[in-house]
Chain A
Amino acid sequence: TQLLEQSPQFLSIQEGENLTVYCNSSSVFSSLQWYRQEPGEGPVLLVTVVTGGEVKKLKRLTFQFGDARKDSSLHITAAQPGDTGLYLCAYRGQNFVFGPGTRLSVLP
């Protein structure tokens, strides 16, 4: 099983700040996914990145897939309280495997 690491584990910031969270592995992936999980709910897919070096934007969220397809980052610009949640990266091998997540808290 390929291991996914995420950093930081916890992040607490003020509204309006920018942040970046990371998903890393020593293995190469054909694709990576990012999910967001809000308190009391199940994860919801944000994006799938497939090509090395790919950048995808979803409003204030920017996702990047590393050139070597071993890592990915999620950058949030001008964070808002609604961005609070657990951010999970995942890859689809035989089944979906998830990283431990970054728990983000955006304070008003």
Chain B
Amino acid sequence: NAGVTQTPKFRVLKTGQSMTLLCAQDMNHEYMYWYRQDPGMGLRLIHYSVGEGTTAKGEVPDGYNVSRLKKQNFLLGLESAAPSQTSVYFCASKGQSTGELFFGEGSRLTVL
């Protein structure tokens, strides 16, 4: 079972470049989330979605945009990457009636 799949798994950008991270889930989950993980800071919520066509800001949304055009996909975009956005990014999903988050394997982004 694929579960939650993130692409790409690794990416190096130069300051000012743009890119999109793709998250795909095959569990028909309503809720999807994007987190970033930095040493000593745990997982911080960037943006989330409670269903197709909806998005909302999390704890650290600045510099990121998201879209949920299809229920199974949640895209995270960086329009103008900055070194402070160097991090490991995790996508997660959750069913409407369950309390468990299912995570992807992460995408490591380095901004030079």
**Residues of A participating in the B interface, judged by any CB pair closer than 8 Å:** 1, 4, 9, 31, 33, 35, 40-45, 48, 88, 90, 92, 95-101
**Distance in angstroms between the alpha carbons of A98 and B92 in the assembled complex:** 13
What are 6 contact pairs spanning A and B, CB under 8 A?
A: A41-B106, A45-B101, A97-B45, A98-B43, A98-B44, A100-B42
| A33 contact set on B, CB distance < 8 A | 99
A40-B105, A40-B106, A44-B103 known; A96+B33 contact, CB < 8 A: yes
Q: Which residue of B lies closest to A6 (CB)?
A: B42
Closest to A89 in B: B42
| Residue pair B106, A42 in contact (C-beta under 8 Å) | yes
* CB-defined contacts of A41 to chain B, threshold 8 Å: 103, 105-106
Alpha-carbon gap, A48 to B101, bound state (A): 11
Chain B residues within CB distance 8 Å of chain A? 4, 33, 35, 40-45, 48, 58-59, 90, 92, 99-101, 103-106
Instruction: State in angstroms the CA–CA spacing of A43 and B4 once bound together.
Output: 12
List the count of A-B residue pairs having beta carbons below 8 Å apart: 49
Whether A100 touches B103, Cβ cut-off 8 Å, given contacts A42-B4, A42-B92, A95-B48, is no
Say whether A31 contacts B99, CB under 8 Å: yes
Chain A residues within 8 Å of B105, by CB = 40-42
A95 CB contact (under 8 Å) in B4, B42, B45: B45
Indicate whether A100 sits within 8 Å of B101 (C-beta atoms), given known contacts A40-B106, A95-B48, A95-B58: no
Query: CA separation between A98 and B101, bound complex, in Å?
Result: 12
Given A40-B105, A42-B103, A44-B103, check contact A100 B92 (CB 8 Å).
no
The listed residue with most A CB atoms (<10 A of its CB), out of B35, B41, B42, B106, is B42
Cross-chain contact A42 with B59 (CB below 8 angstroms): no
- Determine the distance from Cα of A90 to Cα of B44 in the docked complex, in whole angstroms: 11
Q: Which residue of A lies closest to B45 (CB)?
A: A95
Is the beta-carbon distance between A98 and B33 smaller than 8 angstroms? Answer: no
A9, B40: Cβ atoms under 8 Å?
yes
Return chain A residues, CB-CB under 8 Å to B44.
Answer: 98
Highest count of chain B CB atoms <10 Å: which of A1, A31, A96, A101: A96
